[in-house]
């Protein structure tokens, strides 16, 4: 099987050749994306459509600055619903039958079309997961209950086994927060819900201490044993559960995957949507109609089915549609169920997703929110509140641009 970079490089060459051979009447459509597998989608689209040619520009993360620099006709990527990005986008004309919670409509119009979305997963051995109360969803209290009596200490008091710890995965900290408040951060981060954030910190601390005995023992266990993949630790009995995601789960070898099972992590009657892949058209786009046609093509159930089959045939490891469940319920109930029979799609009323994300979300999340949460969980007497930490970081970012 070819690696994803090798496959994408070959497809990029084919795209260039296709463009060079195309007729002069073709409209070039520049696609800026953080989904590398769309190179194959662009190739297929170019073959099937004579009127336009998609050229792909890949980036690790899409930001407002990147959009201004690249000046694309269409953007497709994760977590684009921050106000600094949507300000650069046109309002879309077409309406698609996507899950209601994924829509970001304003006054009946929308700037972004959701294509796919991710939900948080908990994996464990099949026989352990079968004992959980719900066949689809697992909640924090159920994980804690299943974890009791699993921890084992050595003669000198060191942890030898630990069922699960929220500290093992940065994403899980935000998963827990999202079950308490799906929108704890305001658009500009100046009106955050400090009460729910601080309560989440305390709840996670209590959870860690309940399992490991204290915060330091939890850290020592991670340093001592968690240098190997979580699925291996689950199978050898070192831990019971691990937080994972669709793409990692899908990448596991069959010999390991068949020994494991998964549940969605959520609240009492909710599952937080952790990321959404969306498509939008910048105001400065030169080929607006052609960009609209490309998005419309991607939103066809037949196209999504075709692309899933094509990625698999090309040896490109991609879960579902663009790394997640489709935004179209019809696709999840038919095509997704056929390609990924072990993935059960929850009822749509369980989904919770923030309508908008704070500005510069990727950096704010990675450079402020996650580090602050980790520090606050280790020591509740942090010098700065999350809002103060953000303001300090914001000033330093502003100075970078001066």
Tell me what pLDDT residue 3 has.
Answer: 53
Distance CA(350)–CA(117), nearest Å, equals: 14
Contact between 142 and 132 under an 8 Å Cβ cutoff? The reply is yes
Say yes or no to pLDDT of 350 above 80: yes
Contact call for residues 226 and 149 (beta carbons, < 8 A): no
Q: Which domains does the chain have, with CATH numbers?
A: 4-118+274-352 (3.40.190.10), 121-272+360-401 (3.40.190.10)
pLDDT tens digit string along 67-97? 999 999 999 999 899 889 999 999 998 889 9
Instruction: Please give the full DSSP string across 124-158, using - where no structure is assigned.
Output: EEHHHHTTSS-SSEEEHHHHHHHHTTT-EE-TTS-
- pLDDT bin (cut points 50, 70, 90) of residue 45 is very high
Structure tokens belonging to residue 230: 């979580």
Contacts of 58 (CB under 8 A, 6+ apart): 8, 33, 34, 36, 39
At 179, list the tokens. Answer: 């079950």
pLDDT in tens, 148-199: 889 899 988 899 999 999 999 999 999 999 998 888 887 778 888 888 999 9
Q: Nearest-CA neighbor of 248 among 268, 265, 233, 262?
A: 262
Q: Is 270 helix (H, G, I), strand (E, B) or coil?
A: coil
CA distance 44 to 53: 10
DSSP 8-state symbol, 109: B
Tokens 């297929």 correspond to what residue?
Answer: 44
> For residue 183, how far is the Cα from the chain centroid?
16
């Amino acid at each position: 099987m070819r690696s994803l970079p090798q496959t994408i490089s070959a497809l990029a060459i084919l795209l260039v050749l296709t463009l060079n051979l195309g007729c002069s009447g073709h409209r070039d459509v520049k696609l800026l994306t953080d989904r590398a597998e769309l190179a194959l989608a662009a190739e297929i689209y170019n073959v099937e459509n004579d009127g336009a040619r998609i050229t792909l520009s890949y980036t690790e993360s899409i930001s407002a600055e990147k959009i201004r620099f690249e000046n694309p006709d269409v953007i497709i990527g994760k977590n684009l619903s921050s106000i600094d990005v949507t300000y650069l986008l046109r309002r879309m004309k077409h309406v698609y039958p996507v899950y209601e919670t994924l829509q970001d409509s304003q006054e009946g119009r929308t700037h972004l079309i959701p294509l796919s979305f991710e939900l948080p997963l908990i994996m464990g051995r099949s026989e352990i997961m079968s004992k959980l109360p719900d066949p689809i969803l697992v909640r924090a209290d159920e994980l804690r209950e299943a974890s009791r009596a699993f921890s084992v200490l050595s003669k000198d008091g060191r942890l030898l086994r630990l069922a699960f710890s929220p500290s093992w995965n940065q994403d899980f900290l935000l998963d827990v927060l999202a079950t308490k408040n799906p929108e704890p951060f305001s658009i500009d981060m100046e009106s955050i819900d400090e009460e729910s954030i601080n309560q989440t910190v305390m709840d996670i601390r209590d959870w860690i201490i309940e399992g490991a005995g204290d915060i330091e023992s939890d850290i020592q266990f991670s340093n001592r044993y968690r240098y190997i993949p979580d699925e291996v630790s689950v199978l050898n009995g070192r831990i019971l559960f691990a937080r994972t995601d669709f793409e990692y789960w899908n990448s596991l070898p069959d010999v390991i995957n068949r020994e494991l099972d998964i549940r969605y992590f959520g609240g009492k009657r909710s599952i937080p949507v952790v990321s959404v892949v969306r498509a939008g058209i910048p105001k400065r786009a030169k080929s607006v109609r052609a960009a609209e046609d490309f998005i419309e093509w991607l939103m066809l159930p037949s196209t999504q089915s075709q692309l899933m089959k094509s990625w698999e045939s090309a040896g490109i490891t991609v879960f579902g549609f663009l790394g997640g469940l489709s935004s179209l319920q019809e696709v999840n109930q038919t095509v997704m169920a056929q390609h990924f029979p072990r993935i059960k799609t929850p009822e749509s009323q369980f989904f919770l997703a923030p309508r908008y994300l704070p500005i510069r979300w990727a950096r704010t999340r990675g450079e402020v929110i996650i580090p602050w949460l980790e520090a606050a969980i280790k020591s509740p007497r942090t010098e700065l509140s999350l809002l103060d930490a953000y303001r300090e970081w914001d000033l330093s970012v502003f100075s970078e641009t001066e």
